[in-house]
Amino acid sequence: MTTLGLMERIPDEAAAWEFMEQLRWSGRPVCPHCGNDARSYYLTPKNGHRTTSTGKASYRRLWKCAECRKPFSVLNDTVMHGSKIPLRTWIMVIFEMASNKNGSRRLRYSAATG
């Protein structure tokens, strides 16, 4: 897969969340707290869409375990959990680093030069 192909597959933030869920869970949510994979349910926002504390739209998909009753998302127990960086950006950067033999060097150079 190329970077362009990945960008076409993940056109927006909502698609990035679905992509990560499929990649990590293969379509079946697994609770990171208790390991339950039998019963979890998607928490639908009351008004139909999620917002951040600043009022911006959020595409975060939140689940709740039927066993331990704790909420979780696909980002729990990952380096991306709690990050303000959009998930689509995380996926693109990780893909670039994994697909280029000089990916990490290029990333450091890019960060150093602005």
Task: Quick: pLDDT tens for 33-53.
Answer: 999 998 999 888 877 777 777
Which residue shows structure tokens 């056109």? 11
Whether 24 has a pLDDT exceeding 60, the answer reads yes
- H/E stretch holding 58: strand 57-58
**pTM attached to this predicted model:** 0.77
Nearest one of 83, 87, 84, 105 to 96, comparing CA atoms: 105
Q: Which residues pair with residue 63 across a beta bridge? A: 42, 72
pLDDT for 42-98, tens place per residue?
A: 888 877 777 777 777 778 889 999 999 999 999 999 999 999 899 999 999 999 888
More confident residue, 24 or 100: 24
